[in-house]
Amino acid sequence: MFDLKGEIAIVTGGSKGIGKAIVYALAVAGATVVIADIDEDNGKHICNELSGSGFQAEIVKTDVTDSKSVDSLVHYTVNKYGKVDILVNNAGILGDAPITEISDEDWDRLMRINLTGAFYCCRAAVRHMLEKRKGKIINIASAGGKQGFPLAGVHYCASKGGIMALTRQLALQVSPQGIHVNAVAPGTTETEMIKNRSEEKRQFIINKIPVGRMGRPEDTAAAVLFLASKAGDYITGETIDVNGGLYMD
Ligand code: NAP
């Protein structure tokens, strides 16, 4: 049911953290994975590791804020493999400054990576998926896009709320053509994104999580694999929370 043999997947921001775990989950399930990340070195390392174990992955250096870079990523993938079955929009950055300290540039940069980048990737992939009448798009949102969260900035939470709205509306438009669009909303997850948190802030977060630990990248990757596989075939327009019960707080 989770078999992805023969499927072609693009994962943005796949060189580290949650994206890296998603790349592994999809590749081990049998997909050929194209990592689309600005970090080429880590991406190459992941591809070498995966190919050493008999799995398929390659890195295509891509900046999701540049629509030409995104269009050429999808063009390259379709030319080489004939299709794109799965797109995971994972590339993102965190912003946690209070509103009075967010400059115009901070706001624009974060929105361009977290929201505009996902739009560019969806647009490029959907143009192709519509021809095949088949596709799975999975956008990585955040718990901060759904409820107030003390350690995230308004720009970050607005970008992730935008991701969920984009997910629903695109699902409404393209599900009749065989393209499923869903999101996964992780709670705080152990990656480089949160490495600068003080021990006090980490404990503050953990105290809010009923299961008593932060998320692991693999927790989110498992939900993405579910949605990408046949097991998720009757789900579209949905956001799955992966947050250890945070909303029960
Ligand atoms: P991460 O460890 O910082 O990895 C993000 C990756 O995206 C990095 O390789 C980064 O490259 C790359 N990237 C940044 N800008 C890019 C661009 N313009 N084009 C292509 N790639 C780009 O982040 P993460 O914690 O795994 O987060 C992944 C996703 O999960 C994000 O969307 C994030 O908002 C979401 N999320 C994370 C958490 C959490 O607590 N970690 C919680 C909820 C949601 P560089 O490192 O070179 O910049």
Residue 60: per-residue pLDDT:
98
d(CA 130, CA 135): 8
Element (H, E) at 35: strand 32-37
Edge to edge, the sheet with strand 8-12 lists 56-61, 32-37, 8-12, 86-89, 135-140, 179-186, 239-242
Can you give the pLDDT of all 249 residues of the chain as single tens digits?
A: 999 999 999 999 999 999 999 999 999 999 999 999 999 999 999 999 999 999 999 999 999 999 999 999 999 999 999 999 999 999 999 999 999 999 999 999 999 999 999 999 999 999 999 999 999 999 999 999 999 887 899 999 999 999 999 999 999 999 999 999 999 999 999 999 888 888 998 999 999 999 999 999 999 999 999 999 999 999 999 999 999 999 876
The residue whose CA is least distant from atom 36 of ligand 1 is: 142
Q: Which of 60, 61, 193, 196 to mutate to test the pocket of ligand 1 (most atoms within 8 A of CB)?
A: 193
Q: Which atom of ligand 1 is nearest to the CA of 156?
A: 34
Determine the distance separating the centroid of ligand 1 and the alpha carbon of 17, expressed in angstroms.
7
Judged by phi (left if over 0) then psi (alpha if -120 to 50, else beta), residue 237 lies in: left
Q: Which of 16, 47, 66, 88 to mutate to test the pocket of ligand 1 (most atoms within 8 A of CB)?
A: 16
The residue whose CA is least distant from atom 23 of ligand 1 is: 193
Determine the distance separating the centroid of ligand 1 and the alpha carbon of 90, expressed in angstroms.
7
- The answer to whether residue 156 is catalytic is yes
3-class SS shares of the chain: helix, strand, coil, % to 5 = 50, 15, 30
User: Which is catalytic among the residues 24, 120, 156, 247?
Assistant: 156
Q: Which atom of ligand 1 is nearest to the CA of 64?
A: 19
Structural Rg of the chain based on CA atoms: 17
Residue 194: per-residue pLDDT:
84
d(CA 214, CA 187): 8
Amino acid at 195: K
With contact defined as beta carbons under 8 Å apart, do 19 and 37 qualify?
A: yes
Neighbours of 150 (CB within 10 A): 10
Residue 15: per-residue pLDDT:
98
Residue 249: per-residue pLDDT:
65
Residue 150: per-residue pLDDT:
76
Amino acid at 4: L
The residue whose CA is least distant from atom 33 of ligand 1 is: 92
d(CA 132, CA 28): 25
Q: Which atom of ligand 1 is nearest to the CA of 94?
A: 34
Residues within a 6 A CB radius of ligand 1: 12-13, 15-19, 37-39, 62-65, 90-93, 113, 117, 140, 142, 186, 188-189, 191-194
Residue 195: per-residue pLDDT:
83
